[in-house]
Amino acid sequence: MPQVVLVNPLIPPNTGNIARTCAATGTELHLVGPLGFEISDRYLKRAGLDYWPYVKLTYHESIEAFKDAHQQRGGRLLGFSVRGTANYAQFQFQADDWLLYGSETTGLPPTVISACDRTLYIPMTEPHVRSLNLSVSVAVSLFEARRQLGYLQ
């Protein structure tokens, strides 16, 4: 099953909402530091409500620590970016994919993007809108991957 990776997330409610989505779908959530908040942050917990016991959460202190974990498990790194090269809805997901998302203000760092097997984007009609909310982007792309892989039965 695909896994969600947040690289340097900054806003606790976004991460909490993403954790709730991961809990509901049984998706592993990886947080890559440094984070813009403490994992014990009350806003983070409030957004995840009482679903935290159901979140398969792994914290990686750095991108290097995450890369080590990824190397041990394998699978493709798929970076989501407004400058991605492939439309996520036309991309063929695989069960061992890692879906990477950057911080709310800067997106994925260039060094992370260069390590990705592919970069994907979510198309938007209005050119004046820079991006979708991080939790929305994760939900949209995760459910498309799950749909393609037959996990929505």
pLDDT in tens, 83-122: 999 999 999 999 999 999 999 999 999 999 999 999 999 9
The annotated binding site is made up of: 102, 122, 131
From CA 31, how far away is CA 61, in angstroms rounded? 8
Residue type, 137: S
My answer on whether omega of the bond before 9 falls inside 30° of 0, hence cis, is: no
Annotated binding site for S-adenosyl-L-methionine: 102, 122, 131
Task: Round to whole Å and give the CA distance between 12 and 46.
Answer: 9
Average of per-residue pLDDT across 55-83: 96
Confidence at residue 50, expressed as pLDDT on a 0 to 100 scale: 75
Q: How far apart are CA 37 and CA 114, in angstroms?
A: 26
pLDDT in tens, 19-43: 999 999 999 999 999 998 777 756 6
pLDDT of 46 higher than 80 = no
pLDDT score recorded for residue 51: 82
pLDDT band at 49 (very low <50, low <70, confident <90, very high): low
- Percent of the chain past pLDDT 70, that is, above it, reads 94
Q: In CATH, which superfamily holds the domain spanning 3-148?
A: SPOUT methyltransferase, trefoil knot domain (3.40.1280.10)
Check residue 13 and give its pLDDT: 87
Torsion of CA 61, 66, 69, 72, to 10 degrees: -150
* Interaxial angle between packed helices 12-25 and 134-148, expressed in degrees from 0 to 180 and rounded to the nearest 10: 20
pLDDT at 96: 97
